[in-house]
């Protein structure tokens, strides 16, 4: 491997530290893991990885510069993202206990929903901007370098996201009553809604 790619080690550590810390994605994955289990949460996790890949790759190709030039685009995206996050928060808070009868009325986030949300997720933007500014090599093709770097860090991110879903699954095994489920879901919904402050500040 070219010596310039020794930077993948520090990039992996950076991605792990950012992905393992709380944020909108991790709160929603915890709620989804508890309510739906790992298999049904998998499209949500893959959607986060796919959305972040597209976002980070876009930043490497100049998406961040476009937003700086046209701040109204960023403002519109913030409001749309906030509205969507509040909708997701309501869905989480109002979800019934995850028994067989209620599954028809409550569904986990899809791949496309999770992927689209990353473009309005402030933590994803911070991660992407710092990643591209700090770790992309300055030699060679920008497109090739971005594909290698972003692809690598998203492989690192996936098991970190899976840990949050696993945390939710563990909570789901611990919760026994319908009342406790409602308290858990409302708590997760409130925490998700609170992330709107990060978007609009």
pLDDT range class, residue 4, cuts 50, 70, 90:
low
Tens of pLDDT along 123-170? 898 899 899 988 988 888 889 999 999 999 999 999 999 999 999 999
- Token pair recorded at residue 52: 């972040």
Q: Hey, what are 4's tokens?
A: 């310039």
Element (H, E) at 96: none
Which helix (H) or strand (E) segment holds residue 121: the answer is: none
**pLDDT attached to residue 25:** 94
The range of the structural domain enclosing residue 140 comes to: 3-200
Q: Give the total number of structural domains in the chain.
A: 1
Mean pLDDT of 17-33: 92
Q: How crowded is residue 83: how many other Cβ atoms within 10 Å of its Cβ?
A: 13
pTM for the full predicted model: 0.86
CB within 8 Å of 16: residues ≥ 6 apart: 156, 157, 160
**Residue 34 contacts residue 168 (beta carbons within 8 Å):** yes
- Quote the percentage of the chain above a pLDDT of 70: 92
For 83, 147, 149, the CA distances from 60, given in Å and listed in that order, are 27, 9, 10
* Residue of higher predicted confidence among 142 and 78: 142
Q: Does residue 100 register a pLDDT over 50? A: no
* Helix ranges restricted to H, 70-177: 71-93, 111-117, 122-135, 142-174
Contact indicator for 26, 114 with CB cutoff of 8 Å: no
61-74 per-position pLDDT tens digit: 988 777 778 778 77
């Amino acid at each position: 491997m070219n010596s310039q790619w020794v930077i993948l080690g520090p990039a992996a550590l950076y991605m792990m530290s950012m992905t393992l810390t709380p944020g909108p994605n991790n709160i929603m994955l915890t709620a989804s893991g508890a309510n739906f289990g790992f298999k049904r949460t998998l499209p949500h996790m893959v959607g986060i990885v796919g959305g972040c890949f597209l976002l980070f790759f876009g930043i490497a190709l100049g998406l961040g510069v476009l937003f700086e030039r046209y701040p109204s685009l960023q403002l519109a995206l913030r409001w749309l993202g906030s509205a969507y996050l509040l909708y997701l928060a309501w869905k989480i808070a109002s979800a019934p206990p995850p028994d067989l009868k209620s599954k028809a009325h409550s569904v986990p986030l899809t791949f496309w929903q999770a992927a689209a949300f990353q473009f309005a997720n402030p933590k994803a933007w911070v991660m992407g901007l710092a990643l591209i500014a700090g770790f992309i090599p300055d030699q060679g093709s920008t497109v090739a370098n971005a594909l290698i770097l972003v692809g690598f860090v998203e492989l690192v991110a996936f098991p970190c996201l899976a840990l949050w879903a696993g945390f939710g699954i563990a909570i789901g095994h611990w919760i026994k009553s319908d009342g406790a489920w409602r308290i858990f879901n409302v708590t997760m919904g409130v925490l998700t809604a609170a992330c709107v402050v990060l978007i609009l500040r």
